[in-house]
Structure 1
Amino acid sequence: MAKKLKGLVGKLIGDANAREIGRLQKVVERINALEPGYEALSDEALRAKTVEFRRRLARGERVDDLLVEAFAAVREAGKRTISLRHYDVQLIGGMILHQGKIAEMKTGEGKTLVATLPLYLNGLTLNPEWEELARQRWGDDPDRWGFEPIDSVPVGRGVHLVTPNDYLSKFGVQWMGPIYHALGLSVGVIQSAAADPEKGSFLFDPDYPSPDDRYLNLRPIPRRRAYEADVTYGTNNEFGFDYLRDNLVRDLSEQVQRELFYAIVDEVDNILIDEARTPLIISGPAEE
């Protein structure tokens, strides 16, 4: 009886997974159909897609409405910048992550590359504060908007990739940074620097002549600027400690983080189960 029940459950789950994969495969076919057209775009036209997508969001379209075209743009940017083309199964993985679900991938199957798809798509989302300023400056017609920061307020809401260690976050930005850069999105990285957190923040900049090869293409910036990037990579500990430090500031202007919107957690079982048992604590001298 137990075996029959186990077999029935396994069959139901298997059938559900197969149906979901079949549904997503149809979306993959739509992405593949766009590939020849995106290959014909110039670098400038491919970069301009980001402004086009954001303008459509400002007109009322949803992020899901842009998925097919956004994934096609990321795939093309990957081919041009780092000579990597997202496989069909990686496109499916990107869609699963966009839905907020867990995707299990073995080492070598391209987790770092897969993450660029939903990070770019969700990184397009407009910052409500910026939208209000845009209306004040250019009016209600998004066709007249210039999609650039206004008074230091970033265009996008910002997305995060959470990694278990500094090396993975830094390497991820250095490797995948050219994809985001080609599409016109900024990408920052947070590194641990216990003595002075401001010394552990960088922005991907392919033109920056770093004096240290370990930080190739990474330009030092204030912590707050790293969080204002469209995409921010960092460890669970650094994100957590920055949250704690933000709750200890004497003035809100001293806070570095902004509203949390969308994040992908690498090695989610390790970070949300194993690491979660270790509390993050900031201590200091007690006032007399």
Structure 2
Amino acid sequence: MNRKPIRVVVAKPGLDGHDRGAKVIAQALRDAGMEVIYTGLRQTPDQIVEVAIQEDVQVIALSSLSGAHLHLFPPVVQKLREQNIHDVLVLGGGVIPDEDIPVLQDAGIPAIFTPGASTKDVVRYIQEHFYGPQEKPKVQKIDHIGIAVKDLQQAIDFYENVIGIKCTMIEEVPDQKVKVAFLPTGDSEVELLESTDPDGPVAKFIAKNGEGMHHIAYRVDNLEAKLEELKRAGVPLIDQKPRRGAGGAMIAFLHPKGTFGHLVELCQRED
């Protein structure tokens, strides 16, 4: 569904002469598909509201590092109300003490983003305000189980001739220093992993642990969103962003110290 872009005014009220943070927020909102008007430094509440009306925006994002937020932010809301405008979302950010946040919220500024917040937090808040909560990414199934082996062909022969499942593809993944054999079984796969380099991660795993289960992989419907969810939950990640893996999948690994000692892979495939 095509949505009309959210229009945002990013403004620096008062005499604060630092606007790097405001520019970073403005760019992050643009990158998220929003239309952003940055008003520049030293704007009065009247000027900010005038621009918001002229540009027909849905959001005013205010930034202040000067400590004058209690005197500068609420008048913007008041000026909007004087114009009978009640549907513009006003947000605040900057160096704002915790004890001032409830005061600003009572004044009609529902969300305050302090220096610990990320630009993604701001983007997500605005999007969810207008579009509703984003659907949580789903784990669909166990995609495969990875097994580290010293001799790939010997392992394939065992699985085909003894276990009774057939290898359908062998692929080398140079950046992971591994050769992979895929053996589908029902809705999932066995993935046999042979290192192509004595210093590769699979070779190091075998040297430390011997041959055996290397990782378990879960298929998700939105890998990037799942990684963001895990970051917010404090789960340590090996891969901060999705990368290309074997079989054309986008993959990311979670750190074993956050998953009870075993390596977990998340993958997303375009079926």
TM-score normalised to the size of structure 2?
Answer: 0.25
Larger Rg computed on CA atoms = 2
Relative contact order: is structure 1 or structure 2 higher (C-alpha 8 Å, sep ≥ 6)? 1
> Hey, which of these two has a bigger chunk of strand by percent?
2
TM-score normalised to the size of structure 1?
Answer: 0.24
> Hey, which of these two has a bigger chunk of helix by percent?
1
